[in-house]
Structure 1
């Protein structure tokens, strides 16, 4: 079921997956302020997604919210069809949806947990990229566009003793970003990747340690956790015309780690 706010025709349209909270919500708001009509994808929290829509509308922006589980192929297809119908041509995709499970060493991981993480954190990115490319690529009659995949500094650091499986999913996103950037460079699509570090969001609660930033901040060169708005600024830049000659690149937003 889609939550719809009346949207007029605009120059650019952006989709943000996992847009109801944290980095996704901050990105949706910044893109709306930059003039995009924004589709906020969410999984469960309708109220949170609708609040992001209302915040954007209150600032004079344009937004809708569409529920879909982006780990399921048919749901991704429905999401993009509804987006086509409600906003028109897609110009920008932010792949941000993902999950973090409680901290664990590798020796305690199960196949069920590993598969769940890879299905949500990796398969969803592939599926959304596919649908975006089918709409954006000049090879398919599109007018080009830009994709930003949200990875993590964990892809470089490995997250030993805590989130080695999550880190591995983000390593896959790094590879996807580089490969896809080369695949579609001549088709008018730029693909880049943002790798956040320790960011102050409720994802740490999902991992079982709400106060994790307080524990680790002494090891961060800037001596603090990052804000969702700081990651959103990096994403917004990479989608913008100011980054028109940037593709296949990785921007770490990790306080120096």
Structure 2
């Protein structure tokens, strides 16, 4: 059987890398984008190749239209098709009270997290839509439980950007449902990745995990399982869903 093609943004580490590796083992070839982590991206590429995938790496800024277009063009050249887009790239920005935020805090977070996601979705729809000559496909946006919780006292700017991702997911799902494209989101909670330390809160998991009803933080692979489910035929009647993955929190 021909392998399907998945694009994963921010595919060098964390949830993105876990999703890529899982997808490689389940019959996908991959285009992975990353920004700065060259060594991590190369390591993820090698691991996915060892799992049987053909992998193309593209370095770029997930919020820059020129880099986004370059990534999709490279996918066209390498594979000639795209079955699944996983919008994983994004940033939290620094921990701030809203009263202390700057315009830069807001624009730096919203540019990749919202505008970049929207532009990636646009390019995927242009290629997947049956009304535009495509064969359909699936889009999975990596949102966050922050979109509902609000992240007051930490990063309201990040939470607001993920609220926008949820709205985009629901609206786009309804817009392209008749064009063979399903659009869903996963909303991870406290997951064991580097995002906490990168935001200046290396103790965040230890501090907040006692508030999780299941009594533990999650693993990136637990999110990846949901991403792969929403990408495949087992979820063929699911669209416009934002799936919480937060241990009950």
The interval holding the TM-score normalised by the smaller chain is over 0.9
Distance 1:199 1:178 in 2: 24
Aligned to 2:113: 121
Aligned to 2:63: 71
* Aligned-partner SS, 1:160: coil
Aligned to 2:18: 26
Single out whichever of 100-109 and 147-156 deviates more from structure 2. 100-109
- Residue segments in structure 2 that go unaligned for 5+ positions in a row: none
Shift of residue 77, structure 1, vs aligned partner: 0.7
Q: How many residues align?
A: 249
Distance 2:114 2:204 in 1: 25
- Residue segments in structure 1 that go unaligned for 5+ positions in a row: 1-8
Structure 2 length normalisation: TM-score? 0.98
Distance 2:171 2:213 in 1: 31
* Aligned-partner SS, 2:186: strand
1:249 corresponds, among 231, 238, 241, to 241
Counterparts in 2 of 1:50-89, with a 5 A limit? 50-89=42-81
Aligned to 2:156: 164
Distance 1:10 1:100 in 2: 37
Aligned to 1:4: none
Aligned to 2:207: 215
Structure 1 length normalisation: TM-score? 0.95
Single out whichever of 153-162 and 31-40 deviates more from structure 2. 31-40
Q: Is the 8 A contact 1:10 1:37 kept in 2?
A: no
Aligned to 1:90: 82
Q: Where do 4+ consecutive residues of structure 1 move more than 3 Å?
A: none
* Aligned-partner SS, 2:33: strand
* Aligned-partner SS, 1:100: coil
